[in-house]
Structure 1
Amino acid sequence: MSFDDARFSGGTVSFSGATFSGGIVSFDDARFSGGTVSFRHATFSGGDVSF
């Protein structure tokens, strides 16, 4: 799953409770601005994650 170069601005971005499993999860060069971002209780397993 790729969020590469994604732009999140204002408001709330929530990955709370999300489960990412297997494969590659990438947030490379993603930008979060002017709001709140949460990965609370998110789980990452069985793959590679990059920010």
Structure 2
Amino acid sequence: EIQEAYYAFSHLNCDEQMWDCEGKEVDNYVVKKLLTKYELFFQRKKVR
């Protein structure tokens, strides 16, 4: 999920991302992981 969200923001030029967590094991810290793993990218690009 984290890599897919990063791809949507960085390559598809999306400014928001929705997750479908039904039926999946979901980590409560997925957004924190996304922002820390790709910190430099998200310092330059603001998301909603």
* Structure showing the higher helix proportion among its residues: 2
TM > 0.5: no
Question: Higher strand fraction: Structure 1 or Structure 2?
Answer: 1
Task: Give the TM-score normalised by the residue count of structure 1.
Answer: 0.30
- TM-score w.r.t. the length of structure 2 is 0.30
